[in-house]
Structure 1
Amino acid sequence: MKLFRLFALGLLLVSTAAGCTKPQPPALPLMEPTFFASENPKTLREWGMVQVSDGALVLSERVVSYDLTTPLFTDYAQKLRTIWMPAGVSADYNPDDALTFPVGTVITKTFFYQTDKKGQVLQKADQTQIHKGDGLNLDHVRMIETRLLIHRADGWTALTYLWNDTQTEATLHRIGESVPLTLVRENGTYEAFNYIVPNVTQCAACHATNVATRAIQPIGPKARLLNRDFTFANENANQLTRLVAMGYLKGLPERDQLPLQVSWIDTKASTDERARAYLDVNCGHCHTPQGPAGTSGLYLDASATHSKTTGVCKLPVAAGAGTGNLRFDIVPGKSGESIFPFRMDSTNPAIMMPEIGRSTKHNEGIALIRFWIDAMEGSCQ
C-alpha cells in the first residue's frame, strides 16, 4: 500500500509539472532613445530606437518610420526604416540628394522576412500580418539585422546589429555574417541561399558615395523617394509633410514643387520611368561621376540623361567575365545582347551587379530591365 501511494504521488507530480506553463521572464522596461556621441553600445536595445516588447518590435517616442517609393533590393528582405533626432534640431530640405540631417540623427533599418509554419522565409510578405502599429508583429517574422547610421560630430558612423535566434535582442556585429535561409518563392519553389550581413568595409562600399572624401552618408531618404503617402499607426499622410509637422524637416517647398520619382512597380507609369527609377535606387549611388563606379563612364542616378552615359550602345570600360562576351551595356531592342541584364541575372561574384548586397536574383527587376531594353528603338551599328 505504501509503495502504491508513493507511485500515485509521483504520477501526480509529473502530471502537474507537465500541465504547467514555463514561467516567462518579465518584460524589460522600454529604453528611451539615446544618442551616443562616441560610444558604440553592445546591444541595439541600448539605443532605444527600436526594441522588442510583448511579441512585437516597437518604436520609441519620436522615432518615425518611413518607406521609399522604390527600395533597394536585398534578397527579397522586408525593411523597417526609422529616423530619430534629438529635440530642437531638424533636417534641411535638399531637392536632389538625401536630406541634410543634423548631428544627433540616428537612422535605423531592420531587415526581416515573413516566415511560414516551417520557419522558411517568404519572397512576398502579407503586410497586414507583419505590421503592428508602426512596428512589427513578430509572430511570423524572422529579423536578421538592424543597421544604424549615426550622425556624429566627425561625420556619419555605420553600425550593424545581428538578431539572436530567439528574436529578443540584437548585438553589435562588425565582421559580417552569412545566414543560411530557405526562400519560398511566389510560385511555390524553394531556394536555399546565404543572406550576407555586411562587415564595416562593405557598409562603406555603398554609403561612401564620393570617392574623393570617402565619407559615409545616407543614400535612401531623398525627397524624390520620400514624396509619397505612407500609412502610420494612426493616419495616412505624405511623409515629407509629416516630417515637417514633427519638427524633423524645414525648408520644404510647396507640394507641387516637390520632386517625385515613380515606383518601379507602378504600372500606370511608363516603362522608361520605372526602369530608370529601379536603376537609380539599385545602381545610382555608385554609378555617378563622383561615385565608386565613376571611372566606368556609366551613370545611372536620376540626374543622368545622355543615352550613351546611361548605357545605350556604350562599350564597357573593362572586359572579362563581367561582359559575357557581349559588346554593349545596352543594345536597343535586344536585351539578350545587352550586358545590363546579363550581370543582373548572375549570382557569380565575378559577374553580378550590384557586386554586394544580394545572393539571389531579383527576377522581377530583371524582367523589367529586359522589357525596357526590348522596347527601345534604334541600333548600335
Structure 2
Amino acid sequence: MLPSIHRLLILGLLATAPLALADPITRVANTTLTLPAEAPVEGDYTVENAFGSLTFSNPIAIATPPGETGFTYVVERGGKVQRVNLSNNTKSEFLNLSSWLVGQGTPLSQSLENGLLSMAFHPNYNQNGYFYAFYSLSISNQIHQRIARFTATGTPGNYLAATTSNPTTHQALITQRDQANNHNGGDMHFGADGYLYISVGDEGAANDDYNNANFINKDFFSAILRIDVDQKAGNLTPNNHSQSNSSSHPSAVHAGTYKIPADNPFIGVTSHQGNTIAANTVRTEIWVTGLRNPWRFSFDSPTGRCFIGDVGQGKREEINLVSGGEDCGWSRREGFIPFTSGPAGSSVPSGYSPHDPIYDYPRSDGRSLTGGLVYRGSRLGELFGRYIFADYATGKVWNITEQSNGTWTREDLISQGGVVSFGEDPRNKDLLLCAIADGKVYRLVRSTNTNPAPLTLSATGAFSNLSNLTPAAGIYAYDINHPFWSDFATKRRWFSIPQLSDTVGYSDSVPWAFPTGQVWIKHFDLEMERGNAASSRPLETRFIVKTTGGIYGLTYRWRADGSDADLVGSNGLDEDLTIIDGGNPVTQTWNYPSRTDCLSCHTPDAGHALSFNVRQLNRSGALGGDQLACLAASGFLDSTPAPSKSLPAHPALNDSQVSRESRIRTYLEVNCAMCHRGSASTVPGNFDARITTKTDLAEIINGMLVDNLGNGSNRFIVPNDLTHSVVLKRLDGSAGRMPPLASNETDQEAIDLLTQWITGELPSRLSYTEWAQANFGTTGTANTIENGDFDNDGQSNITEYLAGTDGSDISSTFALILGETQFSFIHPANRSVLIESSSDLINWQPFDHMDNNLTPPATDQNKTFNLPAGDKLFLRARLSQP
C-alpha cells in the first residue's frame, strides 16, 4: 500500500529507546557441563522406543488382531493407521481414513479431543478381515462421532497377512451428533464374549453441561456401550433413536448393522435415578453408565475384569472396576466426592447408590487420567497382575495393587509426558505407551541407570563461581522482554551451545531448531519480605537440555545457607515458605517442578525453549546491544535476522506506552500458548493464546468455553463484564488456577491490566466486520470486504480500518505527509505501523529511525521522521493489529 502525499503536519513524537549496536562476543566451546546427553533415569524403570527409531504422527492408540504376533497397529489421530513389523521395526500405511473422508465431503475433525481415536479388530479377523474404528467427522459443519466397520484387503482365512485396507469398505454402525469437542470417550475393545464395548463421554463442555450423565434414555453418552456386531440369533434390535439436532442423520443408529446382547443390563428398565421411563426409549446399548470421560478402558484377559479410567472435572480422577449394570456416579459424584455443580445440583434420588471407584486421586496428583491395563508380561515379573495407568497432564505413570481387604495401593513407576493410551507387545505382553506429543510408542523396561544426573548444582559445571553465579566459559547470559509469571520470583537466564560447530536454525516466525546438546539455565530468587530486595534468597536453578529426540529438565533446590543446590527428585517437591507481606507473615508454597512438569510446558509445538525466540530476544540485553544481531554475529545462528525494528518484540507487562491489548496478548502467549493453541491445543479449551492468531479469531473476546463453570453466560472475556469473564477467575485461582503448574500466587498486575482492558477499551472495540457495518451499513459485498475499497480513495477497507479513518469518506485516508526534510504521520493506537523505504520500488527495508518499529502504542501518536539527504526515496507503511 503506497499512501497518498499530503501537506506537512508535525504535532509530536513518541520516544522509545533504540537498540544499541551489537558487537559480537567471542564464542568459546563449553567443556565443563556434566549433564547427561539423554534424559537421566531415576528409579527401577524407564522407557525406550518400542520400535527402534520409528516415529508416528500423533500416535493415540495401539491394537493387535487376535492370533497375531508379528505385527501390531498404531492409530494416528490424524486419520491413519500404521502397520508395524515387529521383526524389523518398519511401518507401512494400513488405512488412510482422512483422505477418503475429505473426498466424501465429511472431513475428519481434529479439534480438541476429536480425531481418529481408536480401533478394534474383530475376534475372527483372520477369517473376515473386519476391524472397527471410532472417529470424529464434520458433516454439514456439525461434529459427529462415528463407530464404523472396515474390511482389510486380503483373503478369508489369511487376513493376518493383509497389508492394507480400503476405506470404501466402510459400514457405519453409529453416527452421533456431538455438540462439543471434548469428552468423547473414544475407546473400543472386544470382550471375551465376542461383543464390542465402546466408551463414550458426557458430550463435553463441563459440569455435565448437556445433561446426559443421569439418563439412560437420551443418547449414547456417559457410558460404556456393549453391542453385537455379528447379530447373533436371540439378540435384540436396538430401540428407535432420533437426534433432531443433526441435519444429516435423523437417527444415530444405522439400521441393521448390529444388535443388542439379550443380557445387556438396562433392557426392560422402567425407572432410573427416581425417574419413570418407557422401556422402549432406553438406550439398551448401555452396559455401564454415569461416566464423565472414559477416555481409556481395558479388559484383563485372564480374569475378564473391566477397568475404566474416567477423567475428572476439577477434584478427582477415578478408576472403576465394573462387570455391567453399574452407575459410576457422574454427574452427582466425582470420585468419592459429591458433585453439586451439575444439572441435578445437590439433589439425590431416593435409593440412589452409585458404584464406588476402586481408586481415585486428587488434582494435586494429576489432572487427566489415562486408563491403562493389567500387566501380564514376563519382562518385569514383579509388576505381574498390577494395573498400570498414567496421568496425561503430569506425566506420572503409576501402578495400583489390590490388597486382601479389597483396597488398592499406588506406587510410582516412571515419569513420561503425554501418555494417551497403553497397549501390549503381542509377542511377550511388554507394556507399550503411546506418547502423542513425542510421536513415539514407548516400551516399559528395567532401568540400568547409566546416565545419572549430577546430584548438586556445583557438580553440573555450569558456574565457575557458585556464590555469585558466574557462568563457566561457553555459557552466556541473556535477557527477555516478558517473563513468565513465577509467583513473585525474579529470574536470571543463561544458555550454552557447547560445540562450536553447532548452530540454531533461525526463523522469524516459527520456533527455532535447536542443536542436540544445547542447554538453557534459569535461576530463581525470591524476596522473603515482599518489596525488600535485600531479603532475596536463591530458591532453585533449572536446566533444560536438548536431546536427540526432545528435551529433559532438571531442578536444583538451594540449601538454606546458600552454599549449593541439590537435585530435586523426578516427582518434584513442594516447599512452604514464610514470607513477610505488609509486615505480616504469610505462607507461600513454592513448587519445584517434576521432570514431567517440565515437559508439560516445554513442548515441541511451543519450541521447547519458550523464551528463546524472536519476540523475547528482540531487545538490548545481557548479550550486549541488539541480542538477535549479537547471536548472529557471534556464530550462534545459521542465518542473519532482519533488522530488529522490522521484527516483533514482546512488550513488558507494565509498559504503559504500549496498548493494553498488545500487552495482554503477550501475557497470554507467554503464560498460556504452550498448551492453548486453538485447534492444535494439547488441552481442552477453545481459545488460541498464540500471539500470531489475530484477537478477533482467537476465541478471546466472547469466546465460548469448554468449561463455563455452570453458567451459560460465561465467556473467556466479556466486554465490560468482569463477572462473566472467566479468564479473571482462572488467574485469581477461584475457578482452577491457570497456568496449572508451578504457580500458587495471584498475578495481580496481570489481573488489573485485564480488568482495565475489559472495562475500558473493549466495550468500544470493533472487529473488522463490526467496523464495516458501522461505516458501510452492510457487509459481505464486493466493495465492503477487507480488500474492497468502498469509498474509491485508493486505500483498501482493511487499511482504513487499521488506520482508524472513515472508510466511507474519500477525503479520510492514512497518509505520510511529506515536507522538504521530514515526513510525518499518525500512528494509530493499538496498531503496528512499520515505515519501509526503497530506491527502486523493488527492494524494501525498514526506514532507519529509532522510533520506527512494530510496537502498538497505547494512544494515537503523531510521529515525525527526518528524511536523509541524497537521491529519490520511496516510502510505504505496513499496518497490522494484535
Structure 2 partner of 1:70: 482
Paired residue secondary structure (2:621):
strand
Structure 2 partner of 1:270: 659
Give TM-score scaled by structure 1 length. 0.76
Aligned-residue offset at 1:378: 5.6
Deviates more, 1:55-64 or 1:38-47: 38-47
* 1:253 and 2:641 correspond: yes
- The one-letter code matched in structure 2 to 1:257 is S
Q: Distance in 1 between matches of 2:536 and 2:680?
A: 39
2:608 pairs with one of 199, 217, 226: 217
1:85 pairs with one of 490, 497, 502: 497
Higher helix share: 1
Cα gap change, 1:306/1:190 in structure 2, threshold over 3 Å: closer, same or farther?
A: same
Aligned-residue offset at 1:201: 2.4
- Structure 1 residues 327-379: Cα deviation after superposition (integer angstroms, max 9, x where no partner): 21111122233111122112x5x621111221111111110111111120269
Structure 2 partner of 1:304: 693
Aligned-residue offset at 1:168: 1.9
- Structure 1 residues 103-132: Cα deviation after superposition (integer angstroms, max 9, x where no partner): 110111111124xxxxxx244565xx7xxx
Structure 2 partner of 1:94: 507
Q: Distance in 1 between matches of 2:717 and 2:542?
A: 34
Assess if the C-alpha contact under 8 Å between 2:574 and 2:589 holds in 1.
Answer: yes
Cα gap change, 1:279/1:306 in structure 2, threshold over 3 Å: closer, same or farther?
A: closer
- The one-letter code matched in structure 2 to 1:59 is P
Cα gap change, 1:378/1:141 in structure 2, threshold over 3 Å: closer, same or farther?
A: closer
Assess if the C-alpha contact under 8 Å between 1:81 and 1:108 holds in 2.
Answer: yes
1:229 pairs with one of 613, 620, 632: 620
Q: Distance in 1 between matches of 2:529 and 2:697?
A: 38
Higher strand share: 2
Assess if the C-alpha contact under 8 Å between 1:32 and 1:60 holds in 2.
Answer: yes
Structure 2 partner of 1:183: 579
- Structure 1 residues 164-221: Cα deviation after superposition (integer angstroms, max 9, x where no partner): 2222222221221112223345x555532111111122222212254xxxx9822121
Q: Distance in 2 between matches of 1:291 and 1:51?
A: 41
Structure 2 partner of 1:239: 627
Structure 1 partner of 2:229: none
Q: Distance in 1 between matches of 2:692 and 2:503?
A: 26
Paired residue secondary structure (1:46):
helix
* 1:364 and 2:364 correspond: no
Paired residue secondary structure (1:36):
coil
Assess if the C-alpha contact under 8 Å between 1:196 and 1:357 holds in 2.
Answer: yes
Assess if the C-alpha contact under 8 Å between 2:650 and 2:666 holds in 1.
Answer: yes
Assess if the C-alpha contact under 8 Å between 1:49 and 1:84 holds in 2.
Answer: no
Assess if the C-alpha contact under 8 Å between 1:113 and 1:125 holds in 2.
Answer: no
Q: Distance in 2 between matches of 1:106 and 1:378?
A: 46
Assess if the C-alpha contact under 8 Å between 1:72 and 1:282 holds in 2.
Answer: yes
Q: Distance in 1 between matches of 2:539 and 2:744?
A: 15
Structure 2 partner of 1:342: 729
- The one-letter code matched in structure 2 to 1:291 is S
Deviates more, 1:69-78 or 1:281-290: 281-290
Cα gap change, 1:273/1:203 in structure 2, threshold over 3 Å: closer, same or farther?
A: same
Assess if the C-alpha contact under 8 Å between 2:34 and 2:454 holds in 1.
Answer: no
- Structure 1 residues 1-57: Cα deviation after superposition (integer angstroms, max 9, x where no partner): xxxxxxxxxxxxxxxxxxxxxxxxxxxxxx82345323322222232123644x322
Assess if the C-alpha contact under 8 Å between 1:91 and 1:248 holds in 2.
Answer: yes
Assess if the C-alpha contact under 8 Å between 2:481 and 2:649 holds in 1.
Answer: no
Q: Distance in 2 between matches of 1:172 and 1:109?
A: 14
Aligned-residue offset at 1:326: 5.1
Aligned-residue offset at 1:84: 0.4
- The one-letter code matched in structure 2 to 1:282 is N
Cα gap change, 1:249/1:299 in structure 2, threshold over 3 Å: closer, same or farther?
A: same
Cα gap change, 1:326/1:68 in structure 2, threshold over 3 Å: closer, same or farther?
A: farther
Assess if the C-alpha contact under 8 Å between 2:538 and 2:562 holds in 1.
Answer: yes
Deviates more, 1:83-92 or 1:244-253: 244-253
1:353 pairs with one of 729, 738, 757: 738
Structure 2 partner of 1:292: 682
Q: Distance in 1 between matches of 2:515 and 2:693?
A: 28
Structure 2 partner of 1:104: 517
- Structure 1 residues 237-272: Cα deviation after superposition (integer angstroms, max 9, x where no partner): 122122223322231323133222222211111111
- The one-letter code matched in structure 2 to 1:201 is T
Cα gap change, 1:201/1:324 in structure 2, threshold over 3 Å: closer, same or farther?
A: farther
Paired residue secondary structure (2:566):
strand
Q: Could you tell me which runs of 5 or more consecutive residues in structure 2 were left unpaired when the two chains were aligned.
A: 1-30, 39-450, 766-882
Assess if the C-alpha contact under 8 Å between 1:244 and 1:250 holds in 2.
Answer: yes
* 1:33 and 2:33 correspond: yes
Deviates more, 1:309-318 or 1:81-90: 309-318
- The one-letter code matched in structure 1 to 2:484 is L
Assess if the C-alpha contact under 8 Å between 1:175 and 1:198 holds in 2.
Answer: yes
Q: Distance in 2 between matches of 1:125 and 1:275?
A: 28
Q: Distance in 2 between matches of 1:99 and 1:88?
A: 17
Give TM-score scaled by structure 2 length. 0.34
Q: Could you tell me which runs of 5 or more consecutive residues in structure 1 were left unpaired when the two chains were aligned.
A: 1-30, 115-120, 130-139
Cα gap change, 1:125/1:243 in structure 2, threshold over 3 Å: closer, same or farther?
A: farther
Structure 2 partner of 1:8: none
Map residues 147-226 of structure 1 onto 2, 5 A cutoff: 147-173=542-568, 174-185=570-581, 190-208=585-603, 210=605, 217-226=608-617
Structure 2 partner of 1:7: none
Q: Distance in 2 between matches of 1:344 and 1:90?
A: 38
Assess if the C-alpha contact under 8 Å between 1:209 and 1:285 holds in 2.
Answer: no
Structure 1 partner of 2:205: none
Aligned-residue offset at 1:310: 3.4
Q: Distance in 2 between matches of 1:51 and 1:125?
A: 28
Paired residue secondary structure (1:336):
coil
Cα gap change, 1:85/1:268 in structure 2, threshold over 3 Å: closer, same or farther?
A: same
Structure 1 partner of 2:3: none
Cα gap change, 1:254/1:122 in structure 2, threshold over 3 Å: closer, same or farther?
A: farther
Assess if the C-alpha contact under 8 Å between 2:503 and 2:515 holds in 1.
Answer: yes
Structure 2 partner of 1:113: 526
Note the aligned Cα RMSD (angstroms). 2.6
- Structure 1 residues 138-161: Cα deviation after superposition (integer angstroms, max 9, x where no partner): xx5422111111112232111222
Aligned-residue offset at 1:306: 4.5
Structure 2 partner of 1:316: 705
- The one-letter code matched in structure 1 to 2:575 is V
Assess if the C-alpha contact under 8 Å between 2:505 and 2:513 holds in 1.
Answer: yes
Assess if the C-alpha contact under 8 Å between 1:74 and 1:358 holds in 2.
Answer: yes
Assess if the C-alpha contact under 8 Å between 1:155 and 1:216 holds in 2.
Answer: no
- The one-letter code matched in structure 1 to 2:516 is V
Assess if the C-alpha contact under 8 Å between 1:298 and 1:309 holds in 2.
Answer: yes
Q: Distance in 2 between matches of 1:156 and 1:331?
A: 38
Identity of aligned residues (%): 26
Deviates more, 1:197-206 or 1:68-77: 197-206
Paired residue secondary structure (1:167):
coil
Deviates more, 1:81-90 or 1:70-79: 81-90
- The one-letter code matched in structure 1 to 2:509 is D
Q: Distance in 1 between matches of 2:607 and 2:620?
A: 28
Cα gap change, 1:180/1:281 in structure 2, threshold over 3 Å: closer, same or farther?
A: same
